[in-house]
Amino acid sequence: MIKVGSKAPTFTASAFHQGKFTKVDLADYAGKWVMLCFYPGDFTFV
């Protein structure tokens, strides 16, 4: 279980940035402050 103050598990996710889809890898931000936000349902092509 993930708890406040513990490290986030490594992951890669799809993102929509500057008009195109890209991959985001948490490891690219090692040593930096990161805030993750998501809105499930946005940009779902259902």
Instruction: Kindly report whether the global pTM for this prediction surpasses the value 0.95.
Output: no
User: Which is more confident, 28 or 5?
Assistant: 28
Residue 27 · residue 10 · CB < 8 Å = yes
CA–CA dist 5, 10 (Å, integer): 15
User: Which is more confident, 16 or 1?
Assistant: 16
- In which domain, by residue range, is 14 found? 10-39
In this predicted model, what pLDDT tens digit does every residue of 26-40 receive, in sequence order? 999 988 988 877 666
User: Quick one: which of 21, 4, 3, 20 has its CA closest to 12?
Assistant: 21
Structural domain tally of the chain?
A: 1
Query: Which pLDDT does position 7 carry in this prediction?
Result: 81
Query: Which pLDDT does position 33 carry in this prediction?
Result: 87
